[in-house]
Structure 1
Amino acid sequence: MADFLRTQGTSLYFAYNDQVHEVECSSISGIGGSRNTSTIQTLQAESATIIAGAQQPGSPSFAVYINNSETQKVLQELYQNAASVKWAVGLSDSDVEATFATELTLPATRSWLSFEGFITDFPFEFAVDSVVECSITIQMAGKYEYVPATN
């Protein structure tokens, strides 16, 4: 049987003001982006030909339970300032953390998804018999990069 990566042990990081922040979140979804297509058809052709176009950056989201941590205060600041930062998701094949030297550094012993982006929505959600939650949305500024671990 294949050795699949589990979601437990996945970590979300971002770099802001020369520091790495780890986000405690309950879910992460939507890292990707759709590809445009172009339709080519001459007047003589009976059917069209579709070719691949540019990839459009996606809008991933992640859910957090509000606890007024320092990281959540920084997330709110990022949202208010529309600051674009580097984001990274560390997969569960290792628990080594991202670091910061002159930029966000992702150790090669862990698999990573990374991208640049800014927070576009920070909606608070209130439900009976629950805790306050936010499903924060990021607009990616370009395509993501997937880097598998090099064990």
Structure 2
Amino acid sequence: MMKIKTNVNLVVALAVFWIALICGAGAANNPVPGWEPNAFRDQSTLQIMTIGPDEGEHWSRLWLAVIDGQLYVRLGDRAFGRIQKNTASPYVKVKVGDKEFDKVRLEAAPEMTDKVAAAMADKYWMDILIRHESHPMTARLVAEPTPSPAK
């Protein structure tokens, strides 16, 4: 009976260890508090802020798609033009839901163009019209930690 109890304790201890290890790895993969693309899936839009050399800060509202835990947007001509002139490139500020992120890298993701377009078509009924407009860029948004203020 004692040997069974010891084995059960060992199994429980190993299970706790593995759960802690897995949770710790998940936290290590997300160094930006609140940046959970899967949690943004039900949001209809997000906003990105670019900084133009002449106009300064500008917020653009974009549709979003979450695919395999990654956040994607499809840029029309105006938003793409702002991205090209963004003096903070490759970063934008992002508002999604009630969260704001100061340092988000906007990465071109041409390999995802078809998947993002399909996800947009599934999510947004207006895409029946929008899909025919020019979309010169499909981009992945990746939040990066902002440095802590010096003490």
TM-score tier, shorter chain, comes to: 0.3 to 0.5
TM-score w.r.t. structure 2 length?
A: 0.39
TM-score w.r.t. structure 1 length?
A: 0.39
Higher relative contact order (CA 8 A, sep 6+): 1
Q: From the two aligned structures, give the one with the greater helix fraction.
A: 2
